[in-house]
Amino acid sequence: MTTVDGRHAIDREAERLAYKPPEIRHDTQGDMSTEDRVEKAMHHFVKNFNTQTASYLDGCLHCGMCADACHFHVRTDDPRYTPIWKLELFKQAYKREAGPFAFFYRLFGFKKKVTIDQLEEWQHLLYDSCTVCGRCSLVCPMGIDIAGLVSMARHGMFKAGLIPHELHEVAKRAAETGSPLGITPDKFEDRIEWMADEHEVEIPVDAEQADVLAVMSSIEIQKYPQSIAATAKILNAAGEKWTFRLDGFEATNFGMLSGNPEWQKEATMKLINAAIKIGAKLIVLPECGHAYMALRWMGANMLGKPLPFKVLHISEYLSEALDQGKIKVNAVDTSVTYHDPCQVSRRGGATEAARNVLKHLGVDFREMEYGGDYNWCCGGGGGVVTITRADPLRRRVFKLKMDQVEKTEADELLSSCANCRQSFDDSQEYFNWDYKMGSLMEMVAENLEEDGS
């Protein structure tokens, strides 16, 4: 090691990115009194307490191991980013309001009432610094699903009007226009036409009756429109009787991410109703992680009964179609590593689907160290990518992902989530990183065996 002036050593290993905690900014929505906000938060915390959440909130040992699983803590060493600490207020509410000993907690004041100051402070912890990726849920020796609890705690925050503005705006736009990015049915139709022309592919829209309902993520429609064409190519090649519906195309669910159960239900019901209307047997979800969680695992519960159709993530659909020979692909001579969308793989259970697709593609697949279910999150999930004030933190966290990807030395980096793709693209640009994320679906679409159809 050379010393330039003899006093300061040059540390080539030093972080190039100095982390500065984001400026504390407490956003509020609506004009409620402070008391109302606290009460709302409390009420909507309490509504979530059922046997499962109660056992989780009662069972925490304060062992702190979740901190070691959380990218936000690992990259900053800020103890506040300990996942279970993000739930401290939720826990506090539980112990006071619904726990088995709630009476005594209130009587003796063992747990104080949650205050507005706390709620404001926790806004940063429940939104900016949690992607609901669920890695912490896997390290917990008590098996507590911390990520699931964060989603529920957000209900109280939303109702109290205490969430980051950007996320609120996006969610509100989604509720008002049907799309977080303001993609109206007309705009979607325009895009479909454009893509149909550009890629010379037939794209059915608003069929009265179809077996398969394909849906899209606004991020794809807006930023990666080629995925519309890719979806069409694949479904056409598979010989499906399928359609897009202008009355139910938006797969993202910012009601869920922001913490508003009503908006969440509204968005989900649009898809369910559209599918029921056309008598679909299957909804194929686009490359979007949280869409999978929202419809595949929470959809039926919004409806209140089992869904009359199946729900598959596109990677699952591809995997099945390839296995069944519905579509065939040409071998691709490249090496690939795959970034697992947390909600599809770790929390959704479809980890193997993407790997099976890559096997069919014949690529040299290079699993990341602890890839698959233990994958590091892109840092932008759970709505975090929309929160601009959280950008420095998100990019700092992304370093883990970069290291993980670089270690594989693969030629290409693929994923199957537009949200991940968006945060990858952002960080790629920011860091001038060598890897540009591609789409698994697009790789399949580009390499379809034409005569196979």
Q: Contacts with other proteins in 79-98 (CB under 8 A)?
A: 79-80, 82, 84-85, 88, 97-98
Is 77 near other proteins (CB under 8 A)?
yes
Is 73 near other proteins (CB under 8 A)?
yes
Cβ closer to other proteins: 73 or 399?
A: 73
CB burial of 393-424 (b: ≥16 within 10 Å; e: otherwise) equals bbbbbbbbbbebbeebebebbbbbbbbbbbbb
CA pair distance 2, 283, nearest whole angstrom: 61
Cβ closer to other proteins: 111 or 233?
A: 111
Q: Under 8 Å CB-to-CB from 117, ≥6 apart: which residues? A: none
Other CB atoms within 10 A of residue 208 CB: 8
CA 399 vs. chain centroid, Å, equals 19
Going residue by residue from 367 to 406, which x/- string records binding to other proteins, judged by CB under 8 A? ---x--xx--------------------------------
Residues 152 to 191 in contact with other proteins, rule: CB under 8 A: 159
Residues 95 to 114 in contact with other proteins, rule: CB under 8 A: 97-103
**Segment lying near other proteins (by CB under 8 A), choices 169-177, 210-218, 291-299, 359-367:** 291-299
CA pair distance 277, 406, nearest whole angstrom: 47
8-state DSSP, 126: I
CA pair distance 78, 380, nearest whole angstrom: 19
Other CB atoms within 10 A of residue 165 CB: 15
Is 55 near other proteins (CB under 8 A)?
yes
**Segment lying near other proteins (by CB under 8 A), choices 2-10, 117-125, 305-313, 424-432:** 305-313
Is 145 near other proteins (CB under 8 A)?
yes
Is 308 near other proteins (CB under 8 A)?
no
Q: Is the dihedral of CA 44, 47, 48, 49 positive or negative?
A: positive
Is 310 near other proteins (CB under 8 A)?
yes
Going residue by residue from 319 to 358, which x/- string records binding to other proteins, judged by CB under 8 A? --------------------------xxxxxxx-------
CA pair distance 102, 95, nearest whole angstrom: 5
Cβ closer to other proteins: 99 or 380?
A: 99
